[in-house]
């Protein structure tokens, strides 16, 4: 979590904002606390996009899509206001690292943990597909690891079978390296594109490497379309399953029910996540107990002016740590 900026609101929809969890080109995600002490993640649309009727329609659809699916491995929406000057939605807050952060910190998952994540994530994805929804941006950063297992998040570019795509014709939206070849070449996709992304996420969890490498996005995109994934070091049976999910031909990818038969379900009576990740989950949960609303004097000015003589040196020179998405982007680009 990062400090709030001076331009950030202190309260939104009855939730007191405590800090920033992340940001993107279209919005900011905050951590907030409700009047009953419940902690949530609030996604808020930036003002310049809130006035865009097409973008607002897309955000309304995101809320509708997320509210329409519930089940194990999915994060619940607890509140939303799509008519606000700055539309927002609040979801339950999951204490724990993303899959990408866990792999960066602790390395690839060992077999029991990998199988547990694979089976529960696959079950959640099957629930999404049974609701008639395509996620379209399944990636390690959109998988949270909790004590109960993985949670699939961020339906910002998901759509139902009956929805027309809100992107321009010929324009694919997603994350290079996890987007299916047919989606990259035609900007159209169905559940089989999610199967490709599912295989890429599981390959990353097993190896700690992006399955189609790093470097300029054009090179990664080319490898995704034309070259086999890097499954070096993966056990043969698991490698065969991943290779099938990552088949360039979408019609050859196995359906989820067949994939789940090949992956043993985790034993609910035993802890199957490694102790190092469980320690991160526990630390995140403990951190929630100590969260306090920041004082305005502690906030960071996003547009700092010339240094002032009365400003303490330590505050003038302090800077927030790089966000997770920035670290991942640098890692992806080989920096």
> Over 60: is that where the pLDDT of 305 sits?
no
* Pair (33, 168) in one structural domain: no
Instruction: Verify whether residue 137 is a known catalytic residue.
Output: yes
Contacts within 8 Å (CB) and 24+ apart, 154-157: 155/62, 155/65, 155/66, 156/26, 156/62
**Is residue 250 within 8 Å of residue 193, measured between CB atoms?**
yes
**Alpha-helical regions (H) of 176-312:** 181-186, 191-207, 217-226, 236-245, 256-262, 275-289
* Pair (160, 181) in one structural domain: yes
Query: Angle CA(42)–CA(43)–CA(49) in degrees, nearest 5?
Result: 145
**Is residue 167 within 8 Å of residue 173, measured between CB atoms?**
yes
Domain carrying residue 74: 1-93
* Pair (131, 265) in one structural domain: yes
Beta strand 143-146 with 149-152: parallel, antiparallel or unpaired?
A: antiparallel
CATH classification at residue 259: 1.10.510.10
Give bridge partners of residue 144 from the DSSP assignment.
Answer: 98, 151
* Pair (186, 54) in one structural domain: no
* Pair (149, 234) in one structural domain: yes
E strand spans, the chain: 11-12, 15-23, 27-33, 39-45, 77-81, 88-92, 133-134, 143-146, 149-152, 159-160
Q: Determine how many CB atoms are found less than 10 A away from the CB of residue 221.
A: 18
Q: Distance between CA atoms of 207 and 244, rounded to whole angstroms?
A: 17
> Over 90: is that where the pLDDT of 177 sits?
yes
**Is residue 104 within 8 Å of residue 204, measured between CB atoms?**
no
pTM listed for this prediction: 0.80
Q: For the segment 135-171, what is each residue's pLDDT rounded down to a tens digit?
A: 888 999 999 999 888 999 876 554 544 443 334 334 4
* Pair (62, 108) in one structural domain: no
Is residue 298 in some structural domain?
A: no
Q: For the segment 188-201, what is each residue's pLDDT rounded down to a tens digit?
A: 889 999 999 999 99
* Pair (119, 267) in one structural domain: yes
Q: Could you say which of 230, 249, 276 is where a domain stops?
A: 276
Options 8, 101, 137, 154, the catalytic residue: 137
Is residue 34 in some structural domain?
A: yes
């Amino acid at each position: 979590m990062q400090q709030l900026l001076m331009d950030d609101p202190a309260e939104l929809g009855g939730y007191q904002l405590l800090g920033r969890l992340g940001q993107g080109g279209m919005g900011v995600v905050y951590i907030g606390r409700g009047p009953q002490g419940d902690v949530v993640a609030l996604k808020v649309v930036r003002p310049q996009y809130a006035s865009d009727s097409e973008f607002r329609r897309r955000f309304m659809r995101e809320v509708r899509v997320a509210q329409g699916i519930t089940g194990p491995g999915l994060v619940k929406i607890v509140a939303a206001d799509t008519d606000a000057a700055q539309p927002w939605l609040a979801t339950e807050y999951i204490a724990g690292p993303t899959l990408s952060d866990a792999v960066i910190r602790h390395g690839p998952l060992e077999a029991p943990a990998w199988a547990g994540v694979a089976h529960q994530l696959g079950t959640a994805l099957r629930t999404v597909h049974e609701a008639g929804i395509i996620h379209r941006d399944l990636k390690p950063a959109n998988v949270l690891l909790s004590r109960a297992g993985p949670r699939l998040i961020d339906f910002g570019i998901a759509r139902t079978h009956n929805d027309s795509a809100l992107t321009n014709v010929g324009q694919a939206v997603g994350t290079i390296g996890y987007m299916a070849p047919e989606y990259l070449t035609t900007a159209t996709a169905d559940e089989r594109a999610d199967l490709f992304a599912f295989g890429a996420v599981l390959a990353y969890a097993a190896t700690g490497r992006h399955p189609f490498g790093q470097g300029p996005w054009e090179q990664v995109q080319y490898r995704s379309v034309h070259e086999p994934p890097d499954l070096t070091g993966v056990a043969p049976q698991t490698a065969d399953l991943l290779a099938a999910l990552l088949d360039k031909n979408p019609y050859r990818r196995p359906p989820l029910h067949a994939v789940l038969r090949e992956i043993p379900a985790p034993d609910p009576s035993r802890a199957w996540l490694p102790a190092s990740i469980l320690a991160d989950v526990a630390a995140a949960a403990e951190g929630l107990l100590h969260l306090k609303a920041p004082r305005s004097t502690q906030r960071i000015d996003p547009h700092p002016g010339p240094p002032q003589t009365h400003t303490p040196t330590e505050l003038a020179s302090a800077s927030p740590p790089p966000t997770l998405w920035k670290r991942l982007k640098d890692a992806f680009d080989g920096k």
